[in-house]
Structures are given as structure tokens and as C-alpha cells.
């Protein structure tokens, strides 16, 4: 907290934090950057990452790279303070000799969690080792490597549960999307009126739902996918969705994210909506639009969705009928 109080009184660091798009504030930041580096104090720069925008973080990172390290004990204390910005903690971590002793498999920072899992993965030998490690892993390549080793040792990783993938859905279709005009229309499922659903449960190992297979090949239409889940606690959550198609993401009736674009490829976690799960029943609704394009590459109509924490670990829930 002392660093934050000092930060609030430092106009040069505030100038770095104030940079905006299209060059806004960059001239002032360039002058301030030189002063920050001349002072030679690393920890206030790392503290300035707290709440900084991605653009500001770029300036702060460049300043940090140009500064000497302070007392190792001060650096270590900064790394261990999990309230600090994850990237700033990692930058401090990289400057510490014998730093691996600071790693924790439950670290809330992405970079430090990844380093901890990598260290444990190098020493894992038994199925029990890999099974326990899977519970801590969040990065896709590490999760896949652990799952592969578990299979080799006679075990099986439940990657759907680990990732918080939703696999049971009620589908509502078709609604008109001729000339892609349906994206902005709130059809009945969007207003809470959901009648005559088609129940679908995907067996895809990555939770993918092929709407062409489930609903028959259709063009110029809107489909809604609905899932209800029971959460044991109230908690922050990310609804992460992937699809080739235009999409809207709703949780408990709140629009979290949207993208009105078609056939741009599909990759895990393309769209992220942040919200808070209620204890008990929660409702997920996806609006997935298909346009009229006839090219072979424009025929995909599918989606994948999961509920997870900020690091990508699946949150506990029970699918409801």
C-alpha cells in the first residue's frame, strides 16, 4: 500500500499510465519515461502496473527493463504479494536468484502458475503425480501434455470437467437471419420465451456442438443454445465461447459479449464475457447466427462454450435439465 500511495504522488508514473490510443499522451510519457529511468527505482514502476491499461503496461515494462534490481528481499516480498499485478510479479520473479523456491501451483498469476506447473511436470512420474498436477494446470499445452501422460500410464483425464465445458444444451431454431438482419433482433428465446427445444448433448472431447448435424444444414438463420447450471457458490466467472459465426453471449439475461462477423475461423476462448455466477441456478444463452454465403468454407455452423475462472480453470457446476 505504501508503494501505491507513493505512486499517486508521482506525476511521471501517472504520465506513463495515462497513455491512450492513437498517440494520446505519448509525448508526455516519453519525457516522463526518461525521468523514471533516471531515478533508478524499480519497485514503484512495478507497483504502477496495478490497474494499468495494456498500453500503459508496455511503457512500464520498457522502464522496468532499463532499471537495476533493488534489494532481493524487497523483490521477493513483491513476488509473494498476490494482490499485485501478475505480470509485474513475474518481472520481479525473473530477477531473483534461486527463484523456483517461490513458485506455487496455486498462484493466481498466469506466468507464475505456468512456471510452477512446468517445474512439477518435469519431476512427475506416477499416474497419481500427473492426476494431481492436472488440477493445477491451466495452459492448454500443459493440460494436453499431462493428459497424454495420464493416458500412457493407464489413466484418463476428464478434460471437459477440467475446462468447465458445457455439453448439454437446448437448441431453438430457426429464426430469420436473411441478409444478416437477425443479429440485432431479440427473438423469443432472447426474451425468455423458450418453447419446443431440441435437446442435444455433445460427446465431442472439446465440447464442440455441430449445429449442422444437430439441426440440419440451414442458411440465413439464427439459432439459440440454452443451458442451465447449478453453482454451489456465488463467484466471479468467465463465459468463454468459440464459434465460426456471429454470436452473442448472455448469462442470466445479461449480454456479456458479442461479435457480428462470419466465417473468420474458430479457436478456443475466442470470446470472453465476465460476470458473476449466483449460488444456485444460472442460465447461459448463446445466439449463434448463420449467413447465406454458399462457399465451401462458409458452411461451418458450430460452437463451444465453457465456464471458468480468470486463468481458464473450469468452475464447479451441475448441469440442470
- What's the pLDDT score for residue 3? 47
**d(C-alpha 282, C-alpha 279), whole Å:** 8
**Range name among 6-10, 219-223, 296-300 with the lowest pLDDT average:** 6-10
**d(C-alpha 76, C-alpha 64), whole Å:** 16
CB 219 within 8 A of CB 291: yes
| 321 — pLDDT class (breaks 50, 70, 90) | confident
CB 78 within 8 A of CB 37: no
Share of the chain above pLDDT 90, in %: 94
- What's the pLDDT score for residue 8? 55
**d(C-alpha 69, C-alpha 43), whole Å:** 9
- What's the pLDDT score for residue 23? 84
pTM, entire model:
0.85
Q: Is the per-residue pLDDT at 2 higher than 70?
A: no
**d(C-alpha 293, C-alpha 298), whole Å:** 6
Average pLDDT of span 215-243: 97
140-181 pLDDT per residue, tens: 999 999 999 999 999 999 999 999 999 999 999 999 999 999
Quote the cell numbers at residue 247: 454470436
CB 161 within 8 A of CB 307: no
Residue 21 CB neighbours (<10 A): 8
Looking up cell 508526455 gives 28
247-269 pLDDT per residue, tens: 999 999 999 999 999 999 999 99
Q: How far is CA 109 from CA 73, 101, 103, 289, in A?
A: 20, 16, 11, 35
- Of 138, 174, 165, 141, whose CA–CA distance to 304 is shortest? 165
Average pLDDT of span 202-215: 94
- Mean per-residue pLDDT over the chain, rounded: 94
**d(C-alpha 149, C-alpha 126), whole Å:** 9
- Of 258, 256, 259, 264, whose CA–CA distance to 239 is shortest? 256
- Of 166, 198, 118, whose CA–CA distance to 282 is shortest? 166
Q: Are strands 254-259 and 198-201 parallel, antiparallel or unpaired?
A: unpaired
87-111 pLDDT per residue, tens: 999 999 999 999 999 999 999 999 9
**d(C-alpha 28, C-alpha 22), whole Å:** 14
Average pLDDT of span 124-129: 97
| CA 153 distance to own-chain centroid | 30
Looking up cell 465445458 gives 165
- Of 120, 91, 87, 88, whose CA–CA distance to 103 is shortest? 120
Average pLDDT of span 55-65: 96
**Residues 141, 108, 164, 54, CA torsion sign:** negative
CB 90 within 8 A of CB 109: yes
Q: Up-side HSE of residue 169: CA atoms within 13 Å toward CB?
A: 29
| 307 — pLDDT class (breaks 50, 70, 90) | very high
Amino acid at each position: 500500500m505504501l508503494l501505491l500511495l507513493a505512486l499517486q504522488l508521482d506525476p511521471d508514473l501517472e504520465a506513463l499510465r495515462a497513455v491512450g490510443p492513437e498517440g494520446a499522451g505519448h509525448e508526455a510519457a516519453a519525457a516522463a519515461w526518461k525521468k523514471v529511468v533516471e531515478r533508478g527505482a524499480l519497485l514503484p514502476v512495478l507497483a504502477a502496473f496495478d490497474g494499468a491499461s495494456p498500453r500503459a503496461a508496455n511503457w512500464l515494462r520498457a522502464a522496468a527493463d532499463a532499471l537495476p534490481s533493488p534489494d532481493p528481499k524487497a523483490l521477493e516480498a513483491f513476488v509473494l504479494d498476490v494482490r499485485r499485478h501478475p505480470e509485474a510479479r513475474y518481472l520481479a520473479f525473473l530477477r531473483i536468484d534461486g527463484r523456483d523456491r517461490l513458485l506455487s501451483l496455486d498462484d493466481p498469476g498466469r506466468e507464475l502458475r505456468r512456471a510452477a506447473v512446468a517445474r512439477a511436470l518435469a519431476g512427475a512420474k506416477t499416474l497419481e503425480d500427473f492426476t494431481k498436477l492436472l488440477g493445477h494446470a491451466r495452459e492448454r499445452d500443459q493440460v494436453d501434455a499431462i493428459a497424454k501422460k495420464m493416458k500412457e500410464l493407464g489413466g484418463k483425464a476428464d478434460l471437459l470437467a477440467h475446462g468447465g465445458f458445457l455439453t448439454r444444451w437446448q437448441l431453438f431454431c430457426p429464426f430469420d437471419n436473411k441478409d444478416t438482419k437477425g443479429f440485432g433482433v431479440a427473438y423469443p428465446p432472447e426474451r425468455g420465451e423458450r418453447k419446443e427445444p431440441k435437446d442435444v448433448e455433445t460427446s465431442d472431447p472439446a465440447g464442440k456442438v455441430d449445429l449442422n448435424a444437430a439441426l440440419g444444414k440451414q442458411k440465413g438463420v439464427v439459432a439459440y443454445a440454452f443451458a442451465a447450471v447449478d453453482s454451489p457458490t456465488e463467484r466471479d466467472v468467465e463465459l468463454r465461447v468459440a464459434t465460426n459465426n456471429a454470436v452473442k453471449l448472455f448469462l442470466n439475461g445479461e449480454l456479456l459479449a458479442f461479435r457480428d462477423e462470419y466465417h473468420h475461423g474458430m479457436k478456443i476462448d475466442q470470446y470472453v464475457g465476465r460476470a458473476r455466477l449466483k449460488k444456485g441456478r444460472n442460465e447461459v444463452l448463446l445466439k449463434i447466427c448463420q449467413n447465406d454465403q454458399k462457399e465451401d468454407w462458409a458452411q461451418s455452423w458450430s460452437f463451444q462454450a465453457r465456464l471458468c475462472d480468470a486463468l481458464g480453470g473450469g468452475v464447479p457446476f451441475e448441469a440442470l435439465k
